[in-house]
Amino acid sequence: MTALSQLARSSAFRLLLVYLALFVAVAVAAVVTMVGDASEFVARQALQTVAAEVRALREQYRIGGVDLLKEAVANRSQAGGTGLYLLAGTDGKRIAGNLAVVPTSLSAGSRPAAFSFNREAEQPEVARLGLGSRVDVPGGIVLIVARDITEEQEQIDRIRRKLLFGLAAISVLGALGAAAVSHAIQRRIDAITKTSSRIMSGDLSGRIPVLGHGRELDQVAASLNEMLERIELLVEEVKEVSDNVAHDLKTPLTRLRARAEAALADPRGETALRAGLEGTIEDADELMRTFNALLSIARLEAGVRAGERENVDLGDLVAGVCELYQPAAEEAGLRLLLNAERGVCANVHRQLIVQAVANLIDNAIKYGRPAVAGPAPVIEVSVVGKGAGALISVGDRGPGVPKEQLDRVLKRFVRLEASRSQPGSGLGLSLVAAIARHHGGRIALIDNSPGLRIEIELPALAAAGVPGEEA
C-alpha cells in the first residue's frame, strides 16, 4: 500500500474531508444567497425607478396626448444615463426613444421583465441587459420604459466569480491541510503501532516518541511511556523474583531433603527420626514464612484491603513494638531508645504498621552492632510529625549499606554478603516498602554515619482513601 493510498484510507483524512465538504457546501449556499439578494436588490431599485417614470409619462400623456408623450420620451432618451425608452406605433416602428425595437420579453400584457439590447451608437455592438415595463397607450401605441442594468449585473458577476474562486482556493488549501494534518497524525499512530509491535515481540524497552509540544498526542505518548516503564519494571522484578525464588528456596529445600535422608539413614532409629522430623518442620515453617511474606507483598501491591483503617496514635503503637523487642535487643547487647512525640496520629491499618516497625527493629537488632569500637551500640526509634503527616524512623550504628546498594536492598530476596550469615529471606524491607506504598507513603534509606536509618513517611490523618486500595 502506497503512502498516498494509506493517507486516503485514514480516518483522520476522511473526517477532515467531510468537514471541508460541509464547509464548502455552506459557503456555496451563502454565496448563492448573497448574489441572489444583490441581483434582487438591483432589480427592485431599477423597477422602482421605472414605475416612477411610467407615472410621470402617463401624466404627460394625460395632459398633452401622444405629441407631448413623444416629446417627453425624446427628451429623456437624449439625456443619457441608464434610462431606456421606446415609443412605437401600431406597426412596431419607433416613433421616439433610444431602443430600436420592442423587446420580445415585453409582449402585450406581460409583467416587468429583463431583456437584451444593443446601444445604437456603441461600436462594436455589445449585448447589454435591460429591465423594464411595457405600457399600452390608447390607439395601439406601445411605450417601453426600462433601465440599463448591465454594469450592476457585471459587478455582481465579478463578485460571484471572486467568491467562487476564493472557495476553490480554500477547498484546495483545506484538502492540502487535511492531508498534512492526517499525515502528521498517521506518523504518530505508526510510531505507536511500531512500538506496540516491538513490545508484543518481547522488547519492553521500546518507547513512543514524544515531540515535546505538550499537545494531546504528546500527553497520550507520555502516559503510555510511563505505563510501559512501569510494565518493564514489573516484568524485570518478576524475572528477578523468579530467579531469586529458584536460588534462595533451593537451599532450604535441599537442607530439608538432606535432613530427611539423614534421619532415615541414622541407626538410632526412632530418636533420630523424631529429631529429623522436628528439623524438617522448622525448615518447612521457614519456607511457609517466606511464601507468606511474598503473598503479603503481592496483596499489598495489588491494593487488596488488609482490614479496616483506623485513626491510630503512632507513638503508642511504636512504643508497644519497642517494648516487645526490648529483651531481644538487650540480649544482643544493644540499647533500644524511643523518642515519640505525643499526639502524632495517622489513619492506617494497625497490624500492617506494627509489622513494618517490627521488621525494621528486627533488622536493626540483627545487623545494628557497630562494626568497630567507638559508636554506642544503640537502636534509635522515633515518631515525629511531618507537616500534616507522620515520620517513623529506625536507625542503628552498624556497618550500614553501601550507597550504591541502598535502592537494591528494597527488592525482594536481596541480601548483601555481610548478611548471609544471619537467618532471613531478604523480604523484610520489601514488605516494609509495600506497606508504606499501600498507605500512600514512602520509605527512605539514609546513611546514619555510621549505620543505617530507615524512614517511613505516612500521609495526613485524613488520607483514608489512598490510590491503589480497593474501596
SS (H, E, C) the chain: CCHHHHHHHCHHHHHHHHHHHHHHHHHHHHHHHHHHHHHHHHHHHHHHHHHHHHHHHHHHHHHHHHHHHHHHHHHHHHCCCCEEEEEECCCCCEEEECCCCCCCCCCCCCCCEEEEECCCCCCCCCCEEEEEEEEEECCCEEEEEEEECHHHHHHHHHHHHHHHHHHHHHHHHHHHHHHHHHHHHHHHHHHHHHHHHHHHCCCCCCCCCCCCCCCHHHHHHHHHHHHHHHHHHHHHHHHHHHHHHHHHCHHHHHHHHHHHHHHHHCCCCHHHHHHHHHHHHHHHHHHHHHHHHHHHHHHHHCCCCCCCCEEEEHHHHHHHHHHHHHHHHHHCCCEEEEEECCCCEEEECHHHHHHHHHHHHHHHHHHCCCCCCCCCCEEEEEEEEECCEEEEEEEECCCCCCHHHCCHHHCCCCCCHHHCCCCCCCCHHHHHHHHHHHCCCEEEEEECCCCEEEEEEECCCCCCCCCCCCC
Does the pLDDT value for residue 462 go beyond 50? no
- Asked if the structure places residue 176 within a domain, the reply is no
User: In sequence order, which residues have a C-beta less than 8 Å from that of residue 229 and are 6 or more positions away?
Assistant: 207
- Asked if the structure places residue 464 within a domain, the reply is no
Residues 270 and 208 in one domain: no
Residues 214 and 132 in one domain: no
Residues 209 and 314 in one domain: no
Q: What is the pLDDT of residue 465?
A: 40
Q: CA-CA distance, 52 to 46, in Å (whole number)?
A: 10
Domain that holds residue 74: 5-155
Residues 398 and 326 in one domain: yes
Q: What is the pLDDT of residue 401?
A: 82
Residues 227 and 279 in one domain: no
Residues 270 and 289 in one domain: yes
- Asked if the structure places residue 34 within a domain, the reply is yes
Q: Give mean pLDDT, residues 9-28.
A: 80
Residues 151 and 231 in one domain: no
Q: Give mean pLDDT, residues 21-35.
A: 87
Does the pLDDT value for residue 463 go beyond 50? no
Q: Residue 446: beta bridge partners?
A: 453
> Parallel, antiparallel, or unpaired for β 310-313 and 378-386?
unpaired
Does the pLDDT value for residue 421 go beyond 60? no
Residues 137 and 211 in one domain: no
| Cell of residue 183, nine digits | 499525515
- Considering the chain, what percentage of its residues have pLDDT values greater than 70? 81
CATH assignment at residue 321? 3.30.565.10
- 377 pLDDT band, cuts 50/70/90, is confident
- 118 pLDDT band, cuts 50/70/90, is confident
Q: Which residue has the higher pLDDT, 263 or 3?
A: 263
Q: What is the pLDDT of residue 48?
A: 93
Residues 316 and 438 in one domain: yes
- Asked if the structure places residue 278 within a domain, the reply is yes
pLDDT averaged over every residue in the chain: 80
Q: Give mean pLDDT, residues 187-202.
A: 80
Does the pLDDT value for residue 294 go beyond 50? yes
- 268 pLDDT band, cuts 50/70/90, is confident
